[in-house]
């Protein structure tokens, strides 16, 4: 941390929310999905989790967030393997910078600076693009056990 050792309780809280929370929702959703009748190909459903590109290149000060999102990405293949016996696929989306209501609180200058770091298209992602990606994943029944980056080829610098 900036003023000594990183706060352990804060680290645990972030992991509880982002990683343990994702695992908990996934396990309960999988239980409910497994009760459905499979389709003609033995499929019952799909779980889509959300990580972040911070899982792969977390920035200074993001140790808890990056670790929690890396954990979500790390669960993906194992969860897909575990849930295959029930006909459930698992895919994770790792978005870059998305123009959410939270981003609306930033100045236009900050938002433009963030967009400038995106390779192409040089803008922030739109929430509906995330939704379209999830729809595509649902329709493409051979996608399983994969973490898909949705980031315009953005690679985060250390700062």
Q: Among this protein's residues, is 86 annotated catalytic?
A: no
Residue 46 near residue 137, CB atoms below 8 Å? yes
154 φ/ψ sector (left φ>0, alpha ψ -120 to 50, else beta): beta
For residues 152 and 96, give the distance between their C-alpha atoms in angstroms, rounded to a whole number: 8
| Catalytically annotated residue among 65, 86, 130, 142 | 65
Known catalytic residues are 65
């Amino acid at each position: 941390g900036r003023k000594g050792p990183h706060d352990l309780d804060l680290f645990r809280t972030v992991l509880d929310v982002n990683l343990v929370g994702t695992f908990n929702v996934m396990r309960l959703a999988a239980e409910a999905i497994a009760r459905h009748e499979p389709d003609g190909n033995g499929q019952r459903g799909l779980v889509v989790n959300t990580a972040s590109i911070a899982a792969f290149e977390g920035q200074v000060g993001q140790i808890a967030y990056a670790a929690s999102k890396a954990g979500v990405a790390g669960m993906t293949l194992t969860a897909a393997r575990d849930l295959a016996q029930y006909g459930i696929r698992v895919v994770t989306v790792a978005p870059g910078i998305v123009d959410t209501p939270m981003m609306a609180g930033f100045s236009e200058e900050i938002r433009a600076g963030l967009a400038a770091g995106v390779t192409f298209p040089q803008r922030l992602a739109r929430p509906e693009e995330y939704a379209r990606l999830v729809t595509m994943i649902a329709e493409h029944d051979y996608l399983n056990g994969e973490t898909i980056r949705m980031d315009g080829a953005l690679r985060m610098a250390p700062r």
